[in-house]
Amino acid sequence: MTEGASLPAGSPPLIGMLGLTKRYGNIVAIDRLDARVDGKIIGLLGPNGAGKSTLLKALLGLIPYEGGARVLGLEARTHGADIRDRVGYMPEQEAFLAGMSAVELCTYAGELSGLPRTEAMQRAHAALYYAGLEEKRYQPIDGYSTGMKQRVKLAQALVHDPEILFLDEPTNGLDPRSRDEMLELIAELPARRGCAIVLSTHLLPDVERVCDHAVIMHQGRVRFVGSIDELRGARGRDTEILVEVKADAARLGEVLTEAGATCQVVSAVTLSVSLPETATNELVFRRAREAGLQIRGLGVRRETVEAAFLRVIGDAPKKDAQP
């Protein structure tokens, strides 16, 4: 994309990419990415080396690239500073100055974003309070645990009240309790702080727990962009549903097949059903009632995020679905 080219028409997405490419010598780290990305909490997924961290740096205008990359409608190549004023970044690696306390670091981050010192300090205290570090904020970060250091990184990313947060592996290295606490903080951010989140991670359970949209990268390319429901297979009327009956799932399969559905008996009491294009779930209830069968449950048959991820990157999992 040339300097003056534009992304596809329509309202600007949170993130837009058109032919985005980053090379390090002969190595192509990200390769011709085309995507429009929206959502409240967006999981940026991929194996180590997929290009996730490189993509975040390009979107922040921190590294040169080819093609187009826009955040909040701004081209990162030419408006990187403006983007960084509106985006908070929590890096994967530690980025602390020796001897600094948490409040000093967050105040410094606020000043770097252009805030006056007094306001930066006020916001530093507020961000550290939100991150659960109010009692430790005057202690040197050098002595913090891994979980506390991750919270400081989150607080410094929040200090200038950003519209989007880029979180790079925020739960990496945390024990189960600290990981749960970090995910709870992340899940609350869109409602409490009014910001969208891009959560870069290789931990698929984290995405399944807090994200509503996903971008999957593999070998420097984007393989999927969309909602978590779309990723897992909940796409509308063509969706496969699981029907649980009191008894005789095979009989229900027969009557639904007569009505044009495609059915597979999973067990004596469970039936997998793909309805005709114009049908709704009401067909299942009506046919069951006519056949004298009792339905006990009905739900969408969807892959786990892990199974869907492996399918998308081409490493097909064993059949693994859940209602």
Cα 314 → chain centroid: 20
Structural domains in the chain plus CATH codes: 15-232 (3.40.50.300), 240-300 (3.30.70.1560)
CA separation for the pair 251, 137 (Å, rounded) = 65
The pLDDT tens digits for 234-273 are 544 446 788 999 999 999 999 999 999 999 999 999 999 9
The values of phi and psi at residue 308, to 5°, are -65, -40
Q: What is the C-alpha end-to-end distance of the chain, expressed in Å?
A: 43
Residue 323 — pLDDT band, cuts 50, 70, 90? very low
Q: pTM for this structure?
A: 0.75
Q: E-strand spans in the chain?
A: 15-24, 27-37, 41-45, 66-71, 74-75, 87-90, 164-168, 196-201, 213-218, 221-227, 240-245, 262-267, 270-274, 295-300, 302-303, 321-322
The pLDDT tens digits for 21-76 are 999 999 999 999 999 999 999 999 998 889 999 999 999 999 999 999 999 999 99
Predicted confidence at residue 239, as pLDDT, reads: 64
Tokens describing residue 52 = 């996730």
204-229 in b/e form (b: 16+ CB < 10 A) is: bebbbbbbbbbbbbbebbbbbbbbbe
Predicted confidence at residue 157, as pLDDT, reads: 94
